[in-house]
A and B are shown apart, each in its own frame.
Chain A
């Protein structure tokens, strides 16, 4: 059991490293690049579309091959979201995230990767983002329990 957990963590560490490298290679860690993509009325930079395209084609093919297996290599099941319906929470959450992303040019992956690159701006954003994540989860838990 302990051994399996170590293997899972090792794979996760490698996956995190590769993910972070991808974000740096593609310059997605730079909020200015994200904003230049989102600014369709300005000097438009299509980079993000190519990042998404590269990631989607790779993942689309990879997932298809992987899901032909019965189970993952190191664990018993593929843990996939089961929810199917489009509800208010999904829509509202995507809107709030979109506003925050548009204001800053930062989403969770690039922001965390930029942590060790370091700057006051990234520390401030990460503190607010992590407070938002755990604050929301704590309030939700409180409401569900009471």
Chain B
């Protein structure tokens, strides 16, 4: 791995930051993905449309990428389908119980120097690293 392969990572991070500050500057909202999805329920008529619009943008991004940038990077999954179900449920429940995910706590919260977000991010990063260690190096899957 050379240093130049990290340029797209940095550029992508800056784009994410621009999206986050755009949503705060104009709408006054935190761009936390799990929060934007979770806020769709219970239904509130004046608080649903912007959430749907943001999610539509997210989902349409690959088309924009293909038009203006090129081939979508390859996507590979390590987990089997049953593990994807288990992982999906854990991500869904965990982000609602813990009030945020990588974007809400990891980017928006830490940028505001929120102690809750700093603690949550350290915990989910550490837990995820331990989980990967156990799966790959202890169980040897």
Residues of A at the B interface (CB closer than 8 Å) are 5, 7-32, 35, 38-42, 45-48, 50-60, 62-63, 66, 69, 71-81, 83-86, 89-109, 111-117, 119-122, 124-138, 140-141
Contacts and interface: CB of A to CB of B under 8 A. Distances in A.
Contacts of A136: 92-93, 96-97
B72 A117 contact: yes
Contacts of B60: 16-17, 20, 116
A105 B78 contact: yes
Given A47-B6, A51-B12, A84-B115, A137 B41 contact: yes
Main secondary structure of the interface of B (DSSP, over half): helix
Nearest to A115: B59
Nearest to B108: A59
Q: Which 9 A-B residue pairings sit nearest by Cβ, starting from the closest?
A: A132-B92, A93-B98, A16-B57, A26-B12, A20-B61, A54-B13, A58-B17, A98-B127, A128-B88
Interface in B18-39: 18-31, 33-34, 37-38
23 contacts: A9-B53, A13-B54, A25-B8, A25-B15, A27-B73, A39-B132, A41-B137, A52-B107, A58-B14, A59-B107, A93-B95, A93-B97, A95-B123, A97-B127, A99-B94, A99-B131, A101-B127, A104-B88, A109-B102, A117-B62, A124-B84, A128-B88, A140-B96
Contact of A24 (B54, B72, B93, B127): B72
B131 A130 contact: no
B15 to A, nearest CB: 3
A99 to B, nearest CB: 5
Contacts of A141: 42
B68 to A, nearest CB: 9
B118 to A, nearest CB: 10
A14 B57 contact: yes
A141 B116 CA distance: 23
Interface of B: 1, 5-6, 8-31, 33-34, 37-38, 41-42, 46, 49-65, 69, 72-79, 81, 83-99, 101-103, 105-112, 114-116, 119-121, 123-133, 135-137
A58 B21 contact: yes
